[in-house]
Structure 1
Amino acid sequence: MAVVGKPTSTKRRTIAILVALVLGVVCGLSVHDLAPEWITFAEQTGSLLTQIFLRLIRMIIAPLVFATLVSGVGKLGDDTMVLRVGGRVLLWFISMSFLSLLIGLFAAHVLSPGSGFSAPLPADVSGLKHPFQPVEFILHVVPTSILDAMSRNDILQIVVFAVLFGVALPAAKTAGQTMLKWTEELAHVMLRMTDMVMVLAPMAVFGSIMGTLAHSGAGVLLLFGRFLAEFYSTILFQWCVLTGITCLFLGRRITGLIREMVQPVVLGFATASSEAVYPLLLEKLENFGVPGRIAGFVLPLGYSFNMDGSILFQSFGALFIAQAYGIQMSWSQQFLMVLVMMLSSKGIAGVPRASLVTLVAVLPQFGLPEAGIALILGIDHFLDMARTATNVLGNGYAAAVSAKWEGVLAEGPAEETL
């Protein structure tokens, strides 16, 4: 699959996104502090700019995931290959998820983000409640209609259908080869559309940041400054751990991968939407040397099963709430909570508030008040930015390691540029 875009345009796009971030902060704070009568207008404008971009991205997500996954599975050639690649990468996902939960748990013990924390709680935050039901989750995995799944951008259901479709292609022989070529060409077209849409990324970044800060101002950052700093430091530590583990498999090539991951991570951080980053991440991994059939197979799975940032927030956030309320939890309770979070986090999409919904589902099972989520609601956008960036980084690492395991990691142009 060809790489869309050139290194020069990529650098310019990265710079434009960073500039948009800075301008969004400056404009948002200026409106909040100097022109409060324009706050509503700034919020609406920011929301409009962001939603236009996200709608355009979501428009191409379903066909892109379907095309890349079907072509990726079809190129693997047989069921054994699918099981081998899928089994290895799922083992990686489970290991990294468990490690992320433990990092969040121990960081919360060391930093005690909830100690001395007090804030007024709203009377009702039950709107986020959505208890985790294992049977419902298993049934939800299987789509009743692929068209319905695509219309809702339900990544997990699209993954299931696309994998089965790709595995069935060889049975169709000549027709199967025709369908395989068709899905490859469809992926090319969707990536070209992605390149066109990505021109609007700086606009979306500016709108998202400007609107949020125009509404909340710097006060929300100051009020929860300690919690934000501790969570971000935990995320940075997690990045170091993930990078170190990945380096064990990639060696010195990790530096080239990190360079390619900069723009997807920045975009994920700014938009707080993994959906918006998927096409760009796919492009960057191919530029690094990960074959399209591997990246197209691993990334959609990762979007449902490898949410490293989101799952770290589960344990960190739960301990934060327990500390804020002065609730003591035994180590056995905490370990059991980690196992429940491991299950309840699988299949959540990388969209804003998904982590909060999952956390609220787990809290009552361990005697933690659901109302504690209100302590986080005000700054969740900024937390979600870090969670999404981590999810993007973790999935990029997983795809590269998977390609290395299969012995198909090529020398990408990124090794000689930037």
Structure 2
Amino acid sequence: MVTPVDPPVAPAAPSARPRWWRHLYIQVLVAIAAGAIVGHFWPDFGTALKPLGDAFIKLVKMIIAPVIFLTLVTGIAAIRDLAEVGRVAGKAFAYFITVSTLALVVGLIVANTVRPGAGLNVDPATLDPAATADYSAKAHETTLTGFLLDIIPTTLVSPFTGGNILQVLLVSILFGVAFVLVGDRGQPVLDLLERLSAVVFRIVGLLMRLAPIGAFGAIAFTIGQYGLESLVGLGKLVATFYATSLLFVLLVLGAIARAAGFSILRLIRYLRAELLLVLGTSSSEAALPALIGKMEDAGCAKAVVGLVVPTGYSFNLDGTNIYMTLAALFIAQATGVELSLGDQLLLLGVAMLSSKGAAGVTGAGFITLAATLSIVPSVPVAGMALILGVDRFMSECRSLTNFIGNAVATVVVARWEGQLDRAQLDRALARST
């Protein structure tokens, strides 16, 4: 009897790569270009598209609180070591303070070297303080005591409707710690949260499909409302800020990344879709849920990601810090105010405090600048009217720099804690090339 021979099995075909136009970053890039064209050639129509961007940002902000809560609670509960959680938080804040202060110093040095406001000879008496009155009023409300008290929510559930990231963070940490203390009795609830986390991140994936529409509406509004011609008069300031931020990312954050064993350029490429979304919406919050998912996929422990990313959105704002000292000295130079070394050190110290607590949303940098100038009397607050017209364009650069800074911080803190899967990080960054 002849034994039948099985036919040879053909090797499995490699999974087909998605078409180039199906990549999210390509779709967002096309949407940004289309929005810029619409805003430039049909400014009234572009301005009318503002609700598209606003609606997308509201949709994303709707899901931020559940993402932070579920990520952090399940992450802390998995560690089951409160000392380790405290150690992660301590290292994260040490990193935030060091790098944020360095960003302030870089802005100060560049402003003194390039002097973008020199020669404008603006008389402060001719400036209209009403133009920045709303920002100044909000700045006076933002005191350090008020900020600290605002971290405590009214009720246990109010952070999920109030939109305050730090309140969500506080409640999440309390829940995570409680799970550790309760032990096995809390396991059924923890299992439910794990399953709920999978559903919530699927919602994030669905919302990200709308990112091109949001970016299109937001950039069309920005160009239509403010116009590219507004950049001409203050082009030196905008160019200086963008160049400084780029050098900070490539040199300072690049050196930190190299010391931690990864490439800043590969990380940027890995996050390219999220960065384009931040560019289009001018808000780093729009990409916060996606950043949490990307950092976990890159091998950072869930507890580290859940703690570092949302905290960094209020305490690790490298782009905002560069902007604050650079813009403050620009106003002083433009209005003919000569600041001594003591004045500049005072400005630096005030900025170090006032920058903590500025959330990564559009306009927060301008409000924080107003808070800083209101405490430093030698620089006229009314001088902020000089940069009001181009602040929206600089807001995009602030958000991009803040976003990259928080991604780097997450990997670095995870590595310090020994909670970084290097092989998974290398695979994730390699896939991005």
**TM-score, normalized by length of structure 1?**
0.91
Structure 1 residues 305 and 182 mapped into 2: Cα distance closer, same or farther (>3 Å)? farther
Among candidates 172, 179, 183, match of residue 193 of structure 2: 183
Secondary structure, in 3 states, of the residue corresponding to 1:90?
helix
Query: Residue type matched to 2:428 in 1?
Result: A
**Equivalent pairs: percent with the same residue?**
37
Query: Is contact 1:260-1:288 (8 Å) kept?
Result: no
Residue 17 in 1 paired to residue 21 in 2? no
Distance 1:172 1:377 in 2: 52
Q: Which moved more, 1:181-190 or 1:82-91?
A: 181-190
Q: Give the counterpart of 1:107 among 99, 106, 110.
A: 110
Q: Paired residue for 2:135?
A: 128
SS in 2 for 1:116: coil
In the other structure, the counterpart of 2:393 is: 382
Distance 2:331 2:257 in 1: 35
CA contact (8 A) 2:245 2:401 kept: yes
Q: Are positions 1:201 and 2:197 aligned together?
A: no
TM-score, structure 2 normalization: 0.88
Asked whether the equivalents of residues 146 and 157 of structure 1 are also in contact (C-alpha less than 8 Å), the reply is no
Amino acid at match of 1:42: G
Q: Which aligned pairs between 1:142-153 and structure 2 lie closer than 5 A?
A: 142-153=152-163
Residues 78-104 of structure 1, C-alpha deviations (whole Å, 9 max, x = no match): 220011111111100111110010011
Q: How many Å apart are 1:194 and its aligned residue? A: 0.8
Distance 2:343 2:238 in 1: 26
In structure 1, which of residues 161, 164, 180 is the aligned counterpart of residue 174 of structure 2?
Answer: 164
Q: Report the CA distance between 1:140 and its aligned residue.
A: 1.7
Partner-residue secondary structure (3-state), 1:251: coil
Asked if the contact 2:270–2:429 (Cα under 8 Å) also holds between the matched residues in 1, the reply is no
Match of 2:73 in 1: 70
Contact 1:249-1:404 at 8 Å conserved across structures: no
Offset, 1:264: 1.9
Measure how far apart 1:8 and its partner are. Answer: 4.4
Tell whether 2:407 aligns with 1:396: yes
Q: Secondary structure at the match of 1:218?
A: coil
Query: 2:420 & 2:409 partners in 1: Cα distance?
Result: 12
Choose 1 or 2 for highest CA Rg: 2
**Aligned-pair distance for 1:255?**
4.9
Mark the runs of 5 or more structure 2 residues left unpaired by the alignment. Answer: 1-15
SS in 2 for 1:143: coil
Please tell me the residue identity of whatever aligns with 1:172: V
1: CA distance between counterparts of 2:38 and 2:321?
32
Tell me if the contact between 1:256 and 1:414 (Cα under 8 Å) persists in the aligned partners.
no
Q: Which has the higher helix share?
A: 1
Quote the residue 2:12 is aligned against: none
In 2, Cα distance between the equivalents of 1:51 and 1:17? 16
| Cα pair 2:315 2:356 within 8 Å, conserved | yes
Aligned length: 405
The AA in structure 2 aligned to 1:192 is: R
Residues in 2 aligned to 1:143 and 1:93: alpha-carbon distance in whole angstroms: 24
What is residue 414 of structure 1 aligned with on the other side?
428
Q: Are 2:104 and 1:98 aligned? A: no
| Correspondences of 1:11-410 after superposition (within 5 Å) | 12-32=23-43, 39=44, 41-44=45-48, 46-117=49-120, 121-124=127-130, 125-129=132-136, 130-131=139-140, 132-252=142-262, 254-367=264-377, 368-410=379-421
Alpha-carbon distance, 1:415 to partner: 4.0
Report the RMSD for the aligned CA atoms in angstroms. 2.0
Give the structure 2 partner of residue 36 of structure 1. none
Conserved? CA contact 1:360–1:370, under 8 Å? yes
